[in-house]
Homo-oligomer: A and B are copies of this chain.
Amino acid sequence: MHTVEPPYVAVIFTSTRTDTDDGYDRTAQRMSQLAARQPGYLGHESARSDGLGITVSYWATEADAQNWKLVSEHRIAQDRGRDTWYRDYSVRIAVVTRAYGMDRR
């Protein structure tokens, strides 16, 4: 995924799930849509295997990332995550200083 030239902010969310699905996929999809409408949203990428999930979302500024955390519908989802969906999780807020890559397309 292409973002912008650094610096920008990456929020690294890693998690392991409980066995309880109960609306998880629907909420995850809804949060993707909602995040994409937030000011400063640059994109996000997710993968999950062997129980470990990693989602990295990219934001123009730390304030933009923080504002997304405080969106009320997202806060409700975060509460359900803590209560129901996640066994454990970590959130790391980071400033991307350099980026490079390869794209064959």
Residues of B within 8 A of A92 (CB): 6, 10, 96, 98-99
CB distance from A13 to the nearest CB of B (A): 9
In the bound complex, how far is the Cα of B97 from the Cα of A104, in angstroms? 33
Decide yes or no: A93 and B98 within 8 Å by CB, A45-B14, A45-B52, A47-B52 being known contacts. yes
Give how many A residues have a beta carbon under 8 Å from the other chain's beta carbons: 37
Nearest chain B residue, comparing its CB with the CB of A95 = B95
Decide yes or no: A96 and B94 within 8 Å by CB, A12-B10, A12-B56, A47-B49 being known contacts. yes
Nearest chain B residue, comparing its CB with the CB of A47 = B47
**Number of chain copies forming the complex:** 2
Contact of A94 among B49, B95, B104 (CB under 8 A): B95
Residues of B within 8 A of A104 (CB): 87-88
Asked if A105 is at the interface of the complex by the 8 Å CB criterion, the answer is yes
Contact of A53 among B10, B14, B47, B87 (CB under 8 A): B47
